[in-house]
Structure 1
Amino acid sequence: MLCRPAGKRVFRITVNNLSKLFIKLRNLLELVKFSHTLFALPFALTSMAVAARGLPSVRILVGILLCMVGARTAAMAFNRFLDWEYDKQNPRTQRRTKLATKREALVLGIISLGIFEIGAYSLNFLCFILSPVAAFLIIFYSLTKRLGSYSHAVLGLCLSLAPLGAWAAVRDNLNDLLPYLLSLAVFFWTFGFDIIYALQDVEFDRRLGLYSVPAQFGENFSLKLAALLHVLAWICWAIFGWIGTMKWPYWIALGVVAVILVYEHFLSRAGEMAKINIAFFNMNAWISIFIFVGVILSIAI
Structure 2
Amino acid sequence: MTVFGRFGAVCRMVKIEHSVFALPFAYTGAFIAAGGWPGWYTMVVLTAAMVAVRSFAMAFNRLIDLPVDRANPRTQGRPLVTGEITPAQTWAFIGVMAAVFVAACAAMNPLCLKLAPVALFMSAVYSLFKRFTWACHFFLGAVLGLAPIAGYIAVTPEFTVPVILFFWGVLFWVAGFDILYSCQDEDFDRREGLHSVPARVGVRSALIVSSFCHVNTSVFFLMAGWAAGLSWPFFAVWGLVSLILLAEHKIISAEDMSRVNMAFFTMNGVVSVVVFAGVLLGIYM
Asked which structure has the greater CA Rg, the reply is 1
Cα gap change, 1:271 to 1:63, in 2 (>3 Å):
farther
Mapped to 2, the partners of 1:71 and 1:80 lie a distance apart of 14
Mapped to 2, the partners of 1:269 and 1:180 lie a distance apart of 32
Q: Give the drift of 1:268.
A: 2.3
Match of 1:212 in 2: 196
Q: Give the drift of 1:274.
A: 3.7
Match of 1:203 in 2: 187
Could you tell me the TM-score, scaled by structure 2's length? Answer: 0.95
Q: Which runs of 5+ in 2 are unaligned?
A: none
- 1:168 is the counterpart of 2:153: yes
Note if contact 2:207-2:254 (Cα within 8 Å) is conserved in structure 1: no
Q: Give the drift of 1:58.
A: 2.1
| Secondary structure of the structure 2 residue equivalent to 1:143 | helix
Match of 1:115 in 2: 100
Match of 1:255 in 2: 239
| Secondary structure of the structure 1 residue equivalent to 2:58 | helix
Note if contact 1:84-1:102 (Cα within 8 Å) is conserved in structure 2: no
Match of 2:85 in 1: 100
Mapped to 2, the partners of 1:140 and 1:33 lie a distance apart of 19
Q: Give the drift of 1:273.
A: 4.4
Q: Deviations over 1:222-280 (max 9, x none)?
A: 11111111101100111111222222321221111111111111122164444011111
Mapped to 2, the partners of 1:271 and 1:136 lie a distance apart of 38
Q: 1:34 aligns with which of 9, 16, 24?
A: 16
| Secondary structure of the structure 1 residue equivalent to 2:195 | coil
Q: Where in structure 2 are the equivalents of 1:112-261 lying within 5 Å?
A: 112-174=97-159, 176-261=160-245
Match of 2:7 in 1: 25
Note if contact 1:253-1:290 (Cα within 8 Å) is conserved in structure 2: yes
Q: Give the drift of 1:84.
A: 0.5
Match of 2:61 in 1: 79
Match of 2:263 in 1: 279
Q: Which runs of 5+ in 1 are unaligned?
A: 1-16
Mapped to 1, the partners of 2:207 and 2:74 lie a distance apart of 21
AA partner of residue 40 (structure 1): A
Cα gap change, 1:271 to 1:32, in 2 (>3 Å):
farther
Match of 1:269 in 2: 253
Could you tell me the TM-score, scaled by structure 1's length? Answer: 0.90
Identity of aligned residues (%): 38
| Secondary structure of the structure 2 residue equivalent to 1:92 | helix
Q: Deviations over 1:121-140 (max 9, x none)?
A: 11000011011111111110
Moved more, 130-139 or 269-278: 269-278
Q: Give the drift of 1:103.
A: 2.3
Equivalenced residue count is 282
AA partner of residue 94 (structure 1): Q
AA partner of residue 165 (structure 2): L
Note if contact 1:45-1:166 (Cα within 8 Å) is conserved in structure 2: yes
Q: Deviations over 1:60-83 (max 9, x none)?
A: 112211110011101100000000
